[in-house]
């Protein structure tokens, strides 16, 4: 893998304020769309009055959420400054009218009150988490009976070795996700696998 391609791939983990980082974010918005559309089939957006998207990247999923839950207040947190900038630009109207608030920060220490959200989503992002710490924070900020939805493009590291080496991440199996959610206190844990054998959506209730 040449150095330029490797640098581009590395911007998957934490997009930088650079040409490669911006290109990666714009690419994310497009290439993750089929996965996101499939995963959302298992999530009830219309009943949520407050939604948090963690690791929102280029901001496409927040834009879609605004349409699926037209009365909900929307929030997003991402540890990439570039993500905040690109997602703000993409969702300028939502930000300007006060319906969407975007924050730079870590899933391990989120600046939200306990019991704040009806729905928390995580698209293609838990690969970069310490899921024990991250899931605990999600549990804290969810309202009672709130839903946590995890939507992943990969559920095994098999065949992902080159990407893992270049980017630096971990693919958590369905069993690892279930066990961690259960240990923290989540209930009604449900997993759905796509017919392609790779995509995974897991939902859980607080």
**Which domains, from first to last, does the chain contain?**
3-205 (3.40.50.150)
- At residue 8, the pLDDT reads 41
Mean of pLDDT over the chain = 86
pLDDT at 128: 86
Cβ atoms 63, 93 nearer than 8 A:
no
Give the pTM.
Answer: 0.87
3-state helix, strand, coil in the chain (%, to 5): 40, 25, 35
**What is the Cα 183 distance to its own chain's centre?**
21
CB count in 10 Å sphere of residue 77: 24
**Gap between the Cα atoms of 117 and 146, Å rounded:** 7
pLDDT digits (tens, 9 = 90+) for 101-143: 999 999 999 999 999 999 999 999 998 899 999 999 999 999 9
Q: What is the residue whose two structure tokens read 């009806």?
A: 118
Token look-up 């995963």 returns 39
pLDDT digits (tens, 9 = 90+) for 165-201: 555 568 899 999 999 999 999 999 999 999 999 999 9
């Amino acid at each position: 893998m040449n150095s330029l391609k490797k640098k581009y791939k590395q911007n998957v983990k934490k997009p930088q304020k650079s040409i490669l980082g911006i290109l990666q974010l714009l690419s994310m918005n497009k290439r993750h769309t089929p996965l996101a559309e499939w995963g959302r089939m298992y999530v009830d957006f219309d009943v949520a009055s407050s939604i948090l998207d963690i690791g929102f990247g280029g901001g496409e999923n927040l834009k879609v959420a605004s349409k699926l839950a037209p009365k909900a207040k929307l929030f997003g947190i991402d540890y990439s400054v570039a993500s905040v900038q690109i997602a703000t630009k993409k969702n300028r109207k939502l930000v300007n009218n006060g319906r969407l608030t975007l924050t730079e920060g870590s899933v391990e220490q989120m600046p939200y009150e306990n019991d704040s959200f009806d729905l928390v989503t995580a698209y293609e992002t838990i690969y970069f988490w310490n899921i024990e710490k991250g899931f605990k924070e999600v549990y804290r900020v969810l309202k009672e009976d709130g839903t946590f939805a995890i939507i992943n493009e990969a559920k095994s590291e098999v065949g992902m070795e080159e990407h893992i080496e270049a980017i630096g991440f971990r693919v958590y199996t369905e069993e690892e996700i279930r066990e961690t959610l259960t240990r923290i206190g989540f209930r009604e844990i449900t997993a759905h696998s796509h017919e392609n054998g790779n995509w995974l959506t897991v939902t859980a209730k607080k």
